[in-house]
Chain A
Amino acid sequence: GRSDGTGSSLPDCSHACGPCTPCKRVMVSFKCSVAESCPIVYRCMCNGRFYHVPSK
Chain B
Amino acid sequence: MANSLQLHLALLLHLLHLLHRTHSEFTMIMPDSSALVDAPQTGFSALAHTNPDEQLAVYEIMAATGNSWASTIPDVCRGRWHGIECMPDSLSVYHVVSLSFGALSDDTAFPTCDAAGATLSPAVLRLPHLRSIFFYRCLSGNPQPIPSFLGRLAPSLRSLVLRENGHVGPMPQELGNLTALRVLDLHENRLSSSIPSTISYLNHLQLLDLSGNQLAGAIPELRSTSLSVLDLNRNRLHGQIPPSLSKCESLIKIDLSRNQLTGPIPDSLASLKELILLDLSHNSLSGSLPCSRGTGYPSLRALILNGNAMNAALIPGECFAGMPDLNTVIFSGMGLEGPVPESMGEMPSLRVLHLDGNKLNGSIPESFRGLEKLSELRLDGNRLTGRIPFGRETIWRMGGKLRVSNNLGLCFDMGLGGEALETMEAITYCNPETVADGEWESGRTITKHLSAVSAGVRISSTSSSAATLAAAVLQKLLLMVGILQVLMG
Distance between B269 CB and nearest chain A CB, rounded to angstroms? 38
Give the size of the chain B interface in residues (CB under 8 angstroms): 42
Q: Are B29 and A25 in contact (CB under 8 A)?
A: no
A2 near B90: Cβ-Cβ < 8 Å: yes
In Å, the complex CA distance between A27 and B27 comes to 10
Cβ contacts under 8 Å, A25 to chain B: 32, 38
Q: Are B40 and A12 in contact (CB under 8 A)?
A: yes
Note all chain A residues with C-beta closer than 8 A to B39: 12, 14
Residues of A within 8 Å of B90, CB to CB, are 2
Cβ of B487 within 8 Å of any chain A Cβ, yes or no, is no
Q: Are B32 and A31 in contact (CB under 8 A)?
A: no
Interchain CB contact under 8 A, A3 and B38: no
Decide if B85 touches A15 in the complex (CB within 8 Å): no
Residues from chain B with a CB closer than 8 A to the CB of A31 are 24-28
| A24-53 near B? 1/0 per residue, CB < 8 Å | 111111111100001001100100001111
- CA gap between A7 and B45 in the complex, in Å: 14
Q: What does DSSP make chain B's interface, helix, strand, loop or mixed?
A: loop
**Smallest CB-CB separation from B106: which chain A residue?**
A50
Known: A5-B44, A54-B84. A15 touches B38 (CB 8 A): no
Interface residues on chain A, number (Cβ under 8 Å): 38
Contact yes or no, B26 A52, CB < 8 A: no
Chain A residues near B45 (CB-CB < 8 A)? 1, 3
Closest to B108 in A: A52
Asked if B85 contacts A55 (CB within 8 A), the reply is yes
B10 to chain A, nearest CB (A): 15
In the bound assembly, the distance between CA atoms of A55 and B87 in angstroms comes to 11
Tell me, rounded to whole Å, the shortest Cβ–Cβ distance linking A42 to chain B.
7
Given the interface pairs A2-B90, A5-B87, A7-B43, the reply to whether A29 lies near B30 with Cβ below 8 Å is: yes
Min distance, Cβ B63 to any Cβ of chain A, angstroms: 13
B1-57 interface with A by 8 A CB criterion:
17, 20-21, 24-32, 36, 38-45
Do A29 and B81 contact each other (CB < 8 Å), given the known contacts A5-B87, A12-B38? no
Question: Complex formed: what's the CA distance from A31 to B81 in Å?
Answer: 27
Q: Please tell me if B116 contacts chain A, counting CB pairs below 8 Å.
A: no
A-B CB contact pairs (8 Å), 30 listed = A1-B45, A2-B90, A3-B43, A3-B45, A3-B88, A5-B87, A9-B43, A11-B41, A12-B38, A12-B41, A12-B79, A14-B38, A14-B79, A18-B81, A24-B38, A25-B38, A27-B30, A28-B29, A29-B30, A30-B25, A31-B27, A31-B28, A33-B20, A45-B29, A51-B109, A52-B107, A55-B80, A55-B82, A55-B83, A56-B85
